[in-house]
Amino acid sequence: MRISLEVMAGPVLLAGAGVALAGWTWRAWVDPLMDFGVQLYVPWRITLGQTLHTDLGYITGGPLSQYFNAALFRLFGVGMMTLAWSNLFIIAATTALIYILMTRMSGRLVAGLAGMTFLGLFAFGQYAQIGSYNWVTPYSHELTHGVVLALGVVLCLGEFLRGRRRLGWLIACGALSGLAFLTKAEVFLGVGAAVAVGGSLALAQSPGRRGAIIAALLGPMLAIPILAWGLLVTRMPAGEAMICTLGSWRLLADEAIRSLPLYQRVFGVDDFYGNVILMVKTAAIYALLLGMAAGAGLAIRSRWVSAALSPILLLAVAGVGLWMGDWIRWPSVARPLPLVVIIAGAVQVLHLGRRVEPEQRHAVQLRLLLAVLALGLLAKTILNVQVQGFGFALTMPAMLVAIEAMVGQLPRSVERQGGSAAAALAVMLGAWGVMLGAHLSATGRLLEHKGEVIASGADAFLADERAAPINLALDAIAVRVAPDQTLLGVPHGAMLNYLSRRASPIREFNVQLPEILAAGGESVVLDELRQSPPDYILVTTWSMAINNRQLLFGGESRYGNDLVAWIRVNYRSVVSVRGALGLVLARRIPSGPEAPVGAGS
């Protein structure tokens, strides 16, 4: 019975934490304007017969996630909570995968800490006003779906390498890899690297089955994208089906998109030297903490002294961390993770050259595979790694590698030197607790501002001060825009399209700079507007620092001037809503300008 309790303690605690965090953040996950509206609009339109690429200019990823979400809408009804419930199940599955992998690498304690880190920092965390960077309502389902598929790839590779030489594990790995290809390019970069390393290890362990191993891995990996292309060909020309299958891969070759300030900042090359220096400085803090843990462990040799001092060390480190909390730059806490992952991976490569027990070898192989995957996922943000933003998914595996190394391997290393593993562990646990508490506190501060309800029923969610103007705009749309009339939200109005159940008449329903560039430029979008002018246009203005999106309709705009000029001539304002978010509903003028958009405002 005691063993059963030990086995169940971790999963039960993680389940309780997941339920508590879901309840704490309930329906406050959604950003009322940015990103997630696209994730709702696209599958809703697919259920009504439209297709990706030909009808819906969706550039965020491949076809897998959107058609999966459309299937959910067909089965369980169109509603925000349909996707939210699906994503809560995905969070549970991801937590289980993390727990299994970490248990096999370092035991249940590290597995529990890793699972808690995923739930507290990434799955439910919110660190900026834009609330699209969590696993319940992500800005891109391709990213969360892709990461959980990637963890599944590592698990399947690990099972084969563990000694269970059944090719079924490799076939499953290939299938999951093929599905990951249909999500996002940056996800498959990590998956491909992990498969390459894992496949090499498998060939080294089973040289006589080389052909079978390669076929088991590559067959499904190639077959699934080909199958997706074949299904898409039934709805669109073969060339367009190929573009749709490739998803975000084609954007990697688009220099205009890659050079956007947003992506330069995400990658970290906007301030190359500054970001490198910050990474090194933060890495020095990591080194100091590791030195403290190792020093404390090696200084204590007595079991009794260790038992007495370890709780004191934990509380002391936590107390100092809380006292210094206001001076710690928490958004930078993940900066050194590329270095941590590289070092952790290199250590595992060295271990593979030694003779170790089979179970230990399996743990080393899993650590290496996770490190390779994590480094591949960090490629997009390599000089500006953060927990927030894109890091809510891309940084998570690297954080797991760091926790396993610092909380799992470091104390064991101290113990092998005759020191106190408990003392070293106490120092690391104190630091981990402060980090988790700081991020939960940041989430709590944002949740305090989300007290107003937008929409109703399965679409209802809590939002900040932007809720009032959005509700007024939805009321105006309900009164003035007939259900069969069309509505275009510029530059970011997909959420209002979805909530009002009013369709956009043009392919580029999300009129933002990356989408405009992917479409072929502003002139292409303008030609489409001229051919299919919407009955109404909803202009949103919201001042944001990120990507300078508010400049779309400004006099100093880098793009959108021709679109703005066309709207001003061909539409007149009928409703203007002011507040934390500015909204102007404009009706198309049948012939000649009356009162242009913006008149009197």
Angle among Cα 187, 189, 191 to the nearest 5 degrees reads 70
The stretches of 268-379 forming alpha helices (DSSP H) are: 272-299, 303-323, 337-352, 358-377
Burial class (CB in 10 A: 0-12, 13-18, 19+), 348: buried
| Type of residue found at 550 | Q
Q: How many CB atoms lie within 10 A of CB 352?
A: 13
pLDDT in tens, 88-125: 999 999 999 999 999 999 999 999 999 999 999 999 99
Beta strand pairing call for 452-454 and 461-463: antiparallel
Structural contact between residues 397 and 375, judged by C-beta atoms closer than 8 angstroms: no
pLDDT of residue 462: 93
The string of DSSP codes covering 483-518 is TTS-EEEETT-HHHHHHHT---SSS--S-SHHHHHH
Nearest to 175 by CA among 159, 152, 198: 152
Percent helix, strand, coil in the chain (nearest 5)? 70, 5, 25
- For tokens 């909530």, the residue is 499
* Whole-number Å distance between alpha carbons of 121 and 395: 10
- Rounded CA-CA distance 464/443 in Å is 13
Q: Is 462 exposed, middle or buried (0-12, 13-18, 19+ CB in 10 A)?
A: buried
Output the CA torsion 470→471→472→473 (10° steps).
50
* Residue segments in the chain with a per-residue pLDDT below the cut of 70: 1-4, 6, 164, 325-326, 542-559, 580, 591-601
Residue 301's CB is within 10 A of a number of other CB atoms, namely 13
Helix 561-570 to helix 522-531 angle (10° resolution) is 20
Cβ atoms of 123 and 91 within 8 Å: the answer is: yes
- pLDDT tens digits for range 37-63: 999 999 999 999 999 988 998 888 899
Q: What is the pTM of this model?
A: 0.91
Amino acid letter, 224: I
Q: How many Å apart are CA 514 and CA 448, to the nearest integer?
A: 32
Give the model's pLDDT for residue 2: 52
Return the pLDDT at 545. Answer: 33
Report the distance separating Cα 146 and Cα 126, nearest Å: 20
Return left, alpha or beta for 107; rule: phi > 0 is left, psi -120 to 50 is alpha, else beta: left
For residue 532, the Cα-to-chain-centroid distance in whole angstroms is 34
Q: Give 343: exposed, middle or buried? Use CB within 10 Å, 0-12, 13-18, 19+.
A: middle
CB contact at 8 A, 127 and 443: yes
453 phi and psi, to 5 degrees? -95, 135
Contact 576, 601 (CB under 8 A): yes
